[in-house]
Structure formats: structure tokens, C-alpha cells
């Protein structure tokens, strides 16, 4: 299961590798930050300092690039409580969120 997941991670990361991806507009960015605080925050902490899920602070996320994080956000981590957000988020939105996390957003 774990090995399959990492194979999938690589395939999906490559699929997301389009450099000219548009950012979500301002209204959608506000919605995404709201989601980050209230939905992601329910597991990762309202200040993203960790809870049921790990802290999502830049220093903790250094070893992942934004696309890898976006894949985790979109598809979850099978076998853990991290759920897939694909039904609610586009790839662009997941990458935008991942970049916000890597830059140290405080929702």
C-alpha cells in the first residue's frame, strides 16, 4: 500500500508540473485561507502548529516541494487520517495552498 502510494505520488507530481499555472483569484484565495484555518485547522491546529495532524510550518515542510505537498492535499495520505481534498480543490488551488504553507501563512 505504502509503496503504491509513493509510486502514485511521483506520477501525480509529474502531472502537476505545469509551470504556467494560474493562481486562484482574490476571492478564492480568501476562501482557501478560511478552509485552511477551519477545516485543515481542525486537525493541524488553528495556528497550524499541530494536533491530530502534524504542524504545517515552513521548517517542517522544507523536505517537500510544493507539488509534493499539493499531491498530499489533493489525494490525502492513505492509511492515515489525512483525507483527500480533491472533491473541493483544483490542482492550482492545492499548489497555491502548498506555497502558502511553505512561505509560512498564518490563516
Q: What is the DSSP string of 7-18?
A: HHHHHHHHHT--
> Distance (Å, rounded) from C-alpha 64 to C-alpha 61?
6
User: Would you say how long the chain is, in residues?
Assistant: 107
102 makes contact with ligand HEC (CB under 6 A): no
Q: What is the 3-state secondary structure (H, E, C) of 28-76?
A: HHHHHHHHHHHHHHHHHCCCCCCCCCCCCCHHHHCCCCHHHHHHHHHHC
Which of 28, 47, 77, 102 touches ligand HEC (CB under 6 A)? Answer: 77
Q: How far is the CB of 64 from ligand HEC (least distance, A)?
A: 6
16 makes contact with ligand HEC (CB under 6 A): no
Q: Which is nearer to ligand HEC, 20 or 95 (CB)?
A: 95
Q: What is the contact mask toward ligand HEC in residues 56 to 75, using x (rule: CB under 6 A)?
A: x---xx-------x--xx--
Binding footprint of ligand HEC on the chain (CB under 6 A): 35, 39-40, 42-44, 52-54, 56, 60-61, 69, 72-73, 77, 80-83, 85, 97
Amino acid at each position: 500500500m505504502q509503496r503504491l502510494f509513493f509510486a502514485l505520488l511521483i506520477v501525480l507530481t509529474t502531472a502537476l508540473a505545469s509551470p504556467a499555472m494560474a493562481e486562484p483569484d482574490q476571492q478564492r484565495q480568501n476562501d482557501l485561507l478560511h478552509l485552511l484555518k477551519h477545516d485543515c485547522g481542525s486537525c493541524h491546529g488553528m495556528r497550524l502548529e499541530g494536533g491530530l495532524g502534524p504542524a504545517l510550518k515552513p521548517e517542517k515542510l522544507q523536505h517537500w516541494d510544493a507539488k509534493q505537498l499539493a499531491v498530499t492535499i489533493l489525494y490525502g495520505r492513505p492509511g492515515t487520517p489525512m483525507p483527500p481534498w480533491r472533491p473541493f480543490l483544483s490542482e492550482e488551488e492545492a499548489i497555491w495552498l502548498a506555497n502558502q504553507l511553505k512561505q509560512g501563512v498564518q490563516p
